[in-house]
């Protein structure tokens, strides 16, 4: 009986589990999901406008146990492949269990327009399945993002998801939310950066997110963050060893509890980029 009622509970729980609604990745989670300026493999979903700055082939996967409810488990994988004039990406994620499942497949492409500006687009396929008797529905949508390195210390970015308000079902004309994000990142030094972001989804209040990342050594990252709607705190650790990245994080909701997450990724080869405005080559950090 409980399992039969769970799909309806999950539908009413849309603030946390709407199809396509929210960034992914353990690093992003540890920073309160202030991820629109982050340049990593999860840019394939979080902001394709960052992909043009990524010039290494990478693969990654993540797993999240949301609020320790196994029916809210979310997992996924991603891969990016640089080509001559840009970077292609693919990302897949799935949330739920056999009676209720949301999945999303994204194909993305980003291109560096100049040494300081990158833009990207994505095409998304979304599928929602509610038990056997209700069947499933699907939709196609897309997103667009742009990222600019104003100064060596300052990065700004914006991202729009589902600008055309695609419908997920004909019943009650249910539409996928349109989500607009704008954010900034300030790099204090090679060891510390601060991120802040505002997100507005259709039908919801503005969600303000912030995070800080500290690198005490070349191998270890310490992260913390928070968001306002819903109000959550976040924390996590990361290890980067010869291209292999292991990220652990958890978000905490005062009523619903913890949502632990783990992420793994691997970057092939080495790449160096010129810092904007300096002409000096340095390893790409973010």
pLDDT digits (tens, 9 = 90+) for 42-99: 999 999 999 999 999 999 999 999 998 888 899 999 999 999 889 999 999 999 988 8
- The CATH superfamily label for domain 25-283 reads Outer membrane protein transport protein (OMPP1/FadL/TodX) (2.40.160.60)
Residue 188 has pLDDT above 90, yes or no: yes
What average pLDDT is seen over the chain? Answer: 86
- Cα angle 243, 248, 254 (rounded to 5 degrees) comes to 155
Can you give the pLDDT at residue 4?
43
Can you give the pLDDT at residue 174?
73
How many Å apart are CA 168 and CA 19, to the nearest integer? 9
How many Å apart are CA 195 and CA 276, to the nearest integer? 19
Residue 155 has pLDDT above 80, yes or no: yes
How much of the chain exceeds pLDDT 90, in percent? 66
- Closest Cα to residue 33, out of 201, 167, 151, 189? 201
How many Å apart are CA 60 and CA 77, to the nearest integer? 6
pLDDT digits (tens, 9 = 90+) for 264-283: 999 998 754 443 322 323 44
- Closest Cα to residue 145, out of 52, 240, 70? 52
Strand duo 207-214 + 58-65: pairing: unpaired
How much of the chain exceeds pLDDT 70, in percent? 84
pLDDT digits (tens, 9 = 90+) for 161-177: 998 877 776 666 678 88
* Cβ proximity of 243 and 259 under 8 Å: no
Distance, CA of 169 to chain centre: 25
pTM for this model (two decimals)? 0.85
Kind and range of the H or E run holding 12: helix 2-12
């Amino acid at each position: 009986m409980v399992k039969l009622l769970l799909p309806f509970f999950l539908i009413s729980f849309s603030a946390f589990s709407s199809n396509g609604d929210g960034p992914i990745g353990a690093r992003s989670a540890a920073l309160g999901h202030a991820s629109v300026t982050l340049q990593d493999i999860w840019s394939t979903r979080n902001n394709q406008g960052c992909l043009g700055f990524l010039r290494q082939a990478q693969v990654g996967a993540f797993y999240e146990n949301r609020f320790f409810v196994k029916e809210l488990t979310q997992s996924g994988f991603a891969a990016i492949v640089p080509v001559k004039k840009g970077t292609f990406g693919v990302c897949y994620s799935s949330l739920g269990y056999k009676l209720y499942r949301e999945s999303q497949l994204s194909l993305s492409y980003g291109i560096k327009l100049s040494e300081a500006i990158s833009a990207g687009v994505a095409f998304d396929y979304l599928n929602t399945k509610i038990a056997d008797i209700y069947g499933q529905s699907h939709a196609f949508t897309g997103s667009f993002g742009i990222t600019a390195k104003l100064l060596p210390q300052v990065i700004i970015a914006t991202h729009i998801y589902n600008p055309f308000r695609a419908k997920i079902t004909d019943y009650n004309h249910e539409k996928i939310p349109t989500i607009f994000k704008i954010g900034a990142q300030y790099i204090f030094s090679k060891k510390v950066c601060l991120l802040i972001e505002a997100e507005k989804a259709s039908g919801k209040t503005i969600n303000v997110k912030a995070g800080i990342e500290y690198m005490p050594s070349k191998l270890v990252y310490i992260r913390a963050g928070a968001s306002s709607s819903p109000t959550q705190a976040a924390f996590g650790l990361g290890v980067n060893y010869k291209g292999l990245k292991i990220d652990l994080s958890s978000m905490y909701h005062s009523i619903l509890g913890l949502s632990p997450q783990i992420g793994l990724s691997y970057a092939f080869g080495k790449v160096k980029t010129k810092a904007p405005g300096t002409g000096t080559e340095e390893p790409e950090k973010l």
